[in-house]
Amino acid sequence: MGELVLCTSTELYNILNQSTKFSRLAEPNYLCLLDARSKREYNEGHIITARRVKQDEDNNFLLPESIELACMKYCVVYDSRTNSLDGDGPALECAKVISQVCHNPVIVLKGGYEEFSGYYHFFRSQKVFWMPQEIDDFLPYPIEIIPGLLYMGDHRQANDHHIQKDLKIKSEVNVSLEPTQLSVPIVHTALPDSQDSDLLQFFPAACQFIDSNMAPNCAVLVSSTLGMSRSSTVVIAYLMHARKSTLQEAWNHVHKCKNNMRPNRGFVQQLSEWEKTILGQQFTDIGDPKF
C-alpha cells in the first residue's frame, strides 16, 4: 500500500513537462492523473490528460480500468481545492482507494484544480480521450525553477511565442550556439557543451542579468540546446548566488525540478569553484558519484 503525500501546483506542472527526447507522458507507466470531481465539473474543464474517476451507486470511488497502478511512477489525484491530508474530501477518499494497489506514494494535488488552473490556465482541457499519437506529439513547456519567475528549457521552447506568452517570459539567458528569435532582452554566450567550455566566467553576468530582469509577471528563461547541461549549470549557479546555498542544495533543487538535468564534468568543477566564490569555501564533495 502506498502512502499519501501532497504536491504543489508547480510540482505537478514539472511532472507534466518532464522529457527526454520526447515527452515522458508517452511512457505508459509514467503518470496516472485522476480527477475526483463531479462529471459536470470534469466536462467543464480539467487538467490535460486527466481522466475522471468513476464511482459506484453508493458513491464509492472505483479503481480506473486498464491501468497498471502498481507500476505507475506517479499517481496524482485532485479535486476542486483540497489543501491538506487531514479531514476528508473527494481527492482524499479517492487517493485512499488508489493507495491500496499502488507501490509508490499516491500524490494529492494541494489546492486542487482551482489553484492549478489559476496558475496554468493553458493546461486546462475539455478533451476526454487522448489518442496515443496526441500524447506522442505533446510538446513540453520549460521546467519551472522558481514559481512564476525562473524557467529552464531547450532551444525549441526558447523560440516558441506561445510559451513566451503563457509563462510571461520577458527575458532570456541563452547558453547555446544557436541564436534565439524571440524579441525579448537576451544575454547570450555561444559556448559548446564541452568540458573545456568556460562557463564560470559567464556566471556573474548571467546572475546580474537574471536579478535585473526577474520580477512578478516578468519571468526569465534560461535555455540551452537540450535544456540539460549548460542551462542547468547556469540555473544552479544562479540559485547559489541568490540564496547563498551550497552546490549540493542548489543541485538537489534543480534535480527535483528536472530529473534528467546533467551538467558535464567540466561544468561541475566550475560550479565547485563558484561555490567557493559565493560562500568562501567549498562545502560540496563533487567526488560523490551523483555529481
- My answer on whether 190 and 65 are in the same domain is no
pLDDT 10s digits, 111-160: 999 999 999 999 999 988 888 888 888 999 999 999 999 999 999 999 99
Percent of the chain exceeding pLDDT 70 equals: 99
- My answer on whether 274 and 153 are in the same domain is yes
Distance CA 137, CA 25 (A): 10
- My answer on whether 72 and 174 are in the same domain is no
Of the candidates 55, 56, 36, 57, which has an alpha carbon nearest to the alpha carbon of residue 47?
A: 36
Distance CA 133, CA 269 (A): 41
User: What phi and psi values does residue 34 have, to the nearest 5 degrees?
Assistant: -120, 130
Give the SS3 label for residue 36: coil
- My answer on whether 11 and 54 are in the same domain is yes
Structural domain contains residue 197: yes
Structural domain contains residue 169: yes
pLDDT 10s digits, 1-50: 569 999 999 999 999 999 988 899 999 999 999 999 999 999 999 999 99
State the total domains in the chain.
Answer: 2
- My answer on whether 128 and 193 are in the same domain is no
pTM of the model: 0.95
- My answer on whether 155 and 95 are in the same domain is no
Distance CA 265, CA 195 (A): 6
Average pLDDT of span 248-264 = 97
- My answer on whether 13 and 127 are in the same domain is yes
Distance CA 79, CA 191 (A): 46
- My answer on whether 11 and 127 are in the same domain is yes
Domain enclosing residue 241, as ranges: 143-279
